Amino acid sequence: MKLINKIYNYFSLVKFSHTIFALPFALLGFFLGCSTVGNIINYKLFLLMLLCMVFARTAAMSFNRFIDKDIDYKNPRTASREIPRKVITPSNALIFCIINCILFVISTFCINRLCFYLSFVALTVVLFYSLTKRFTSLSHIVLGIGLSLSPIGAYLVVTGHFAVLPVLFSVIVLFWTSGFDILYSLQDEKFDREEKLNSIPARFGYKRSLYLSELFHLISVTFVIFAGISGGFGLFYRIGVVCFISMLIYQHFMVRKQGLTIINLYFTKINGYASLIFSFFVITDILHYSFKYF
């Protein structure tokens, strides 16, 4: 029972359920890559891609909890996290991070040389995010860059080279993630100012932050449409676009209507659904028109 509790605590530490934000776009990038290499699905590469996603994200989150431990102690919203509650020690969180970094690099080594070389760049980006709130309000964009590596990274797993279309999907993830992270950070606007931490809400205030979040999501939607045209996608992609846009609009409508009380709910659920549903229809489109599975 103690072992199960320890495992649960580590899963909770890194918010494993939030993998739902980036993983669907990684799957999208993987199948996009498969469609360019003779419509062949390599299940070994598929497993390695999933492991890379899990290890990189787990490393990033455990490092974030370690670096932010003193901040989390002070913030009433985060005081219940595992390190402030002394469920997990800071040193164990750091060790956990290092282990996942090593496993991530090993996984990329088993894929191809390019992925291995770029693994150090990817780790630098996803770990660097945790430091940014101390000196720049653009921390939301750095987080977006970290998550945006998922579609292009998965594409590289399959193909071993860059292409324009997966980069477009990465830009979609960048602005979508940055936009909803601004909304999420509205909860800490007052705390960030008091502690001299940098964020868009702390710098620009509630209303202007809402506008910036909407602008970022508008840019994301623009690239969604552009990627659809550039990739020559069909009906399923268009359905995914409608669903994605609808959920973003609904999210902003509810935040403006009900304020901060529903941000936690809509941060996890609506954005998770947006990622899942959009990626599902894009992958369906790829399977239908490239693989001719149905």
Gap between the Cα atoms of 79 and 260, Å rounded? 18
pLDDT tier for residue 14 given thresholds of 50, 70 and 90: confident
Q: pLDDT per residue over 74-103, tens digit each? A: 999 999 999 999 999 999 999 999 999 999
> 8-291: what CATH class?
mainly alpha
pLDDT tier for residue 132 given thresholds of 50, 70 and 90: very high
- Is the CB of residue 22 less than 8 Å from the CB of residue 150? yes
What is the pLDDT, as a whole number, of residue 10? 84
3-7, 47-51, 133-137, 192-196: segment of lowest average pLDDT: 3-7
Domain boundaries, given as residue ranges, for the chain: 8-291
Q: Supply the mean pLDDT for the chain.
A: 92
